[in-house]
Amino acid sequence: MKKIFISSDHAGFKLKEDIKKLLKSIKLNFKDLGPVNDNRVDYPDYAHKLAKKVKVSKNNVGILVCGSGTGMNIAANKHKNIRAAQCFSTKSTKLSRLHNDANIITLGSRLISKKKAFEFIKIFLNTKFEGGRHLKRVKKI
């Protein structure tokens, strides 16, 4: 069974809370790793916390939200077996799963709308890795 973890920094807090409502509405279980409010925090702390949870199992996935999506992406990708993808379009989101077997999506709350974030999350959670020629490349990571 797929486990979903979600986290943000202060800039992504509101969008994270909205995403939690989406996940509840489509009856998906998730674990919120914080923060609990929009007080200023350091995004690497939350990216590392989530990456450590995701890498425990191939079935785990994560959602990270910060202002741009970039900081969370950089921090999460420091972990072995993490393939975090900063998604900014439906195509980038779909390809991150199909070709790269991304296990974390990072989103920029200052760059995309709530509607787009919801769309990207649904694509991310419902798209399967193609494997095949892409598996060889992913293994090189």
| pLDDT cut 90: percent of the chain above it | 98
User: Pick the catalytic residue: 10, 48, 87, 99?
Assistant: 99
User: Pick the catalytic residue: 10, 66, 79, 87?
Assistant: 66
**Tens-digit pLDDT profile for residues 9-46:** 999 999 999 999 999 999 999 999 999 999 999 999 99
What DSSP designation does 127 have?
P
- Assign domain 3-140 to a CATH class: alpha beta
pLDDT at 2: 83
Q: Check whether 1 has a pLDDT greater than 70.
A: no
**Tens-digit pLDDT profile for residues 66-118:** 999 999 999 999 999 999 999 999 999 999 999 999 999 999 999 999 999 99
- Catalytic residue status for 87: no
- What residue segments make up the domains of the chain, in order of their start? 3-140
- Name the average pLDDT for the chain: 97
The DSSP string of 32-83 is E---SSSS---HHHHHHHHHHHHTT-TTEEEEEEESSSHHHHHHHTTSTT--
